[in-house]
Amino acid sequence: MPPEAFPQVVRREAKTTLPPSTFMVQLGFSKTILDESIASARRAMALQTLLIATCGMGLGLIGSFLLGRVLSRPVAELSRATTALASGDLDAAVPAGPADELGELGERFNAMAGRIRESIRSKEDLLSTLSHELKTPLSGLKGYIELMETPAGDSAAERSEALAVMSDTVRQMETSLGDALTLLASDSPPPLALTDLDLGEMVAEAVRLYGPAARSNGLKLLAPLGQGPMGPRVRVRADRELIRRVLSNLVSNALKYTPRGGAVAIQVSPGPEGAEIAVSDTGPGIAPENQELIFTKFYRAPQAAEPASQSGRTRVPGSGLGLAIAKAAVNRHNGRIWVESTVGKGSVFHVFLPHSQTA
C-alpha cells in the first residue's frame, strides 16, 4: 500500500541516491498505540505503587501496635504492682523483664517492695514478741499486787521479797520497751551525738546500776582493780546513750544467763587504734553454730528459748533483741562486736570502738 493509506503513521524518509534495481523498505508505527501503551504502563505502575504503599502502611500499623504492646506491658505491670502495693498487698512484684531501662525499673521496684515488706513484717514480729514479753510479767505483777492488797497479808520479809520481784519485773519490762523503741527508730536513726567518753566511768555506772540485781540473784558483778573513775582513763569518741545501751544489754544478758553463785566481769582496755570492752560471765556458754546467730533480730539460743520442761532449767526471759541492738549501735561507730564462748564454761563478749568517729 502507498504511504498515503496510513495518515496516522509517522514517516521518516532518508533521501539518498540508490542504485538501480534496489529495493526500498519503509517502516512506521502508530503514535496512538504507543501513547496508549505508555498510559497503560503508567496506570499499572501507579496501581503497584499504591498497593505497595498500602501494604507498607498496614505492616507499619501492625508493627507499631505490636511494638506498643511490647513496650507498654512492663509499664502496665509496674502500674498494677504499684497499685497492689499501695492497697496493702505486700507480695506485689513486677515479673522479670528484658535487660533495658524498663527491666531495671522493675528490678528497683521489686527491691523497694522487698525492703518495705521486710520492714513491715519486722515491726509486726516486734509487736507480737513485745506483747508476749509484756503479758507474762504483767500477769505476775497483777498477782503480787492482789496478794499485797489482802488484809491478812504475808510477813514483812515476804512483802519485801515480793517488792524486790516486782521491781525486777518492772526493770525487765522497761528494758523490753527500750529495746523495742530503739528497734523502731533504727530505720531512720538520728545522727550520732559524739562526745569524749571515759569508758571506765561508764563501767562504774553499769556496776552501780546492775549491782543490786546481781546481789539479789546471788551473783558477783565485778570490775577489775583500776577500772572506774579512780583508774587510768580509757577514752573514745562515741555516742554516750548508744554505748550505755550496749553495756546495758551485754551486762543484763550476762546476769540473766549466769546461774546463782557465778560472776560477771566488765573490763576495758586501751589500744593504739581504739578501745575494747569485754563482758565475761560464768554461764552455760554458746555453741559455735549459734555464736553468729545470736546477733540476729529475734533469735534466741535454743537453751534460752525452749520451755523449762524441755531444758530442765528455768526459761530465761527475753525477746532476742538486745544483742541485735548492741550490734547495730557498735556498727554505727564503725566498730566490731563478737563473742568467744565454750559450752559449759561461759562467754566473753568483746566490743571494739575505734578512736576516730564521724557523726
**Mind listing the pLDDT tens digit for each residue in 171-203?**
767 776 776 666 666 666 678 889 999 998 889
* Higher pLDDT among residues 165 and 51, named by residue: 51
pLDDT for 312 equals 39
* Higher pLDDT among residues 220 and 108, named by residue: 220
Q: Name the percent of the chain lying above pLDDT 70.
A: 70
pLDDT for 191 equals 82
**Mind listing the pLDDT tens digit for each residue in 24-63?**
666 666 677 777 888 888 888 888 888 888 888 888 888 8
Per-residue pLDDT at 347 exceeds 60 = yes
**Mind listing the pLDDT tens digit for each residue in 211-253?**
888 888 899 998 865 554 445 678 899 998 889 889 988 998 8
* Higher pLDDT among residues 10 and 115, named by residue: 115
Confidence of residue 335 (pLDDT cuts 50, 70, 90): very high
Report the C-alpha dihedral over residues 194, 198, 204, 210, rounded to 10 degrees: 20
Per-residue pLDDT at 349 exceeds 60 = yes
pLDDT for 230 equals 47
Average confidence (pLDDT) over 294-298: 82
Per-residue pLDDT at 334 exceeds 90 = yes
pLDDT for 310 equals 37
pLDDT for 278 equals 95
Per-residue pLDDT at 313 exceeds 50 = no
Q: Where are the domains of the chain?
A: 190-354
Q: Give the range among 87-96, 164-173, 180-189 with minimum mean pLDDT.
A: 180-189
Q: What strands, in cross-sheet order, belong to the sheet with 220-222?
A: 220-222, 263-270, 274-281, 346-354, 336-342
Average confidence (pLDDT) over 57-71: 77
pLDDT for 183 equals 64
* Higher pLDDT among residues 222 and 69, named by residue: 222
190-354 fold: Heat Shock Protein 90 (3.30.565)
**Mind listing the pLDDT tens digit for each residue in 132-156?**
567 656 766 777 777 677 665 567 7
